[in-house]
Amino acid sequence: MRLPQILITISDILQQRGAKAIVVGGSVRDHYLQLPIKDYDIEVFGLDSLEELEEILGDFGSVNLVGKSFGVLKFSYDGDEYDFSFPRREEKVSDGHRGFDVSVDAGMDFKEAALRRDFTINAMGYDIAEKKFIDPYGGLEDIKQKTLRHIDDATFIEDPLRVYRAVQFCARFEYELADSSFRLCREMVSDGSLEELAKERVYIEWKKLLSKALRPSIGLELFRKLGVLRYFPELEALIGTPQSPKWHPEGDVWIHTLLCVDAMAVILYTQNTQYNEEQKILYLFAILCHDLGKPTTTTIDDDGNIKSIGHEHAGVPIAKSFMGRLTDEHSLIEGILPLVEQHLKPSQFYRANSSDKAIRRLATKVSIEDLVVVAKADFLGRTTDEAQSGIYRAGEWLLERSKLLSVKKSPLANLLQGRDLMELGFEPSPKFGKILDEVYELQLDGIINNKDEAIAYIKEKYIGEL
């Protein structure tokens, strides 16, 4: 296992003092999965005190003591941060992720220390001095079998968040959840254990599920099978909600949503496009929420025709409620809602060959560039011949038109400001807003196209009122 030289240096010093440094957790797992290793966690065995470890680390870099009471020291060196910790026991004493009694014990062996971890694949270690992997619970075999398996019933149930972690790991690595782990997770869901979880912790796991998996649908389906959707009735309602076979031969709204989320993952990660993390989260949650209005709007007439008229508008308050229970990131929620409300527009505008003014007005409601990303995933999340081609002509058409109209990324800027009216001799008044709005409406309609035309319009209509 390749390690930063500083860890080898510190390991050598610890060995001289009769102690041992072992790399633990996700970095060992990711080594076997051949994934980039971003964080290294090191557990130190056989040292007398944390103060001694603090002294050793302090000779090389800075040490943050914020986690010292839990046996953890954060060590910064050359721009990187490492977690050094002593082995510890955790005993559940009350609800919540802070409700643990932690006792540090440097005399524990690795197998006992690893018992508190969640899954076998996260309980492997790498002895730096001996250059040897330690695998007390068969994590490597589970990696080979692509199986996610918990270690111990008693320790696992102490933190209900592990149900969410099971789901996002299965989605990210495309693993099967072991039968014993599946049963235990279902029991935890059934007995209401998940209700004690703070939404901030749940939201982190949701983000990992959506943003780190190439097939997030694996996790969403596992949510369904485990019964977790009882906590997300907006999603549960999608199951069994029918759709017109003409537009959605793939099946009900739940199946369509799964396909859409996977399509979004493909767009974000495999098409050589550059999106930052905020954009990815915005798009992924927007596509997850885009059809939440269908269960309340779907009708079947006497001829068997299935319609969901107005579902895009009906979905807005439902999406707001769903996201509000997950996070307090109001800017994210406010970014999602217009994407839900307008997600049909690219295809509708393309079929109607909509006018320039319609496109300009759309840009005042939503970022057209963002909207096309969501609408494309909606289009690709079906099994029609057109969708299977992978070419979303409506999106390409709207992007090109909006680019020519200079509204691809943002709406038209106002040609006039209040100061322009003052320069024309107007006194500041509440009427300013009405006049500026009127000019802007004419901009959107394409009647006024530059500042000179705007000023000429003001002079002709209002100059006599001075």
Between CA 401 and CA 356 the distance in angstroms is 8
- Decide if 364 contacts 437 (C-beta within 8 A): no
Same domain, 270 and 383: yes
Measured CA distances, 198 to 97, 186, 202 (Å): 8, 19, 7
Which of 139, 167, 188 is a domain's end point? 139
Q: ∠ at Cα 57 (54, 62), nearest 5°? A: 95
What is the model's pTM? 0.92
For each of the chain's 466 residues, which pLDDT tens digit applies? 999 999 999 999 999 999 999 999 999 999 999 999 989 999 999 998 889 999 999 999 999 987 777 788 999 999 999 999 998 876 654 565 554 556 678 788 999 999 999 999 999 999 999 999 999 999 999 999 999 999 999 999 999 999 999 999 999 999 999 999 999 999 999 999 999 999 999 999 999 999 999 999 999 999 999 999 999 999 999 999 999 999 999 999 999 999 999 999 999 987 666 889 999 999 999 999 999 999 999 999 999 999 999 999 999 999 999 999 999 999 999 999 999 999 999 999 999 999 999 999 999 999 999 999 999 999 999 999 999 999 999 999 999 999 999 999 999 999 999 999 999 988 888 889 999 999 999 999 999 999 999 999 999 888 766 5
Could you give the number of structural domains in the chain? 3
119: domain range?
5-139
**Tokens standing for residue 218:** 């694996």
Task: Record the tokens describing residue 331, joined without a space.
Answer: 């800017």
Say yes or no: 370 and 434 in one domain. Answer: no
CATH number, position 57: 3.30.460.10
Residue 147's nearest CA partner among 118, 183, 175, 117 is 175
Statement to judge: residues 334 and 451 lie in one domain: no
Q: Where are the alpha helices (DSSP H) in 124-174?
A: 139-144, 153-156, 161-173
Per-residue DSSP letter, 119: B
Q: Do 398 and 459 reside in the same domain of the chain?
A: no
Reduced to 3 states, what is the DSSP secondary structure of residue 198? coil
> What is the rounded CA–CA span in Å between residue 317 and residue 289?
11
Residue 157 included in any domain: no
Contact criterion met (CB below 8 Å) for 224 and 348: no
Residue 299 main-chain phi, psi, to 5 deg: -130, 155
Answer yes or no: do 32 and 110 share one domain: yes
Does residue 18 form part of some domain?
yes
pLDDT at 101 (0 to 100) = 58
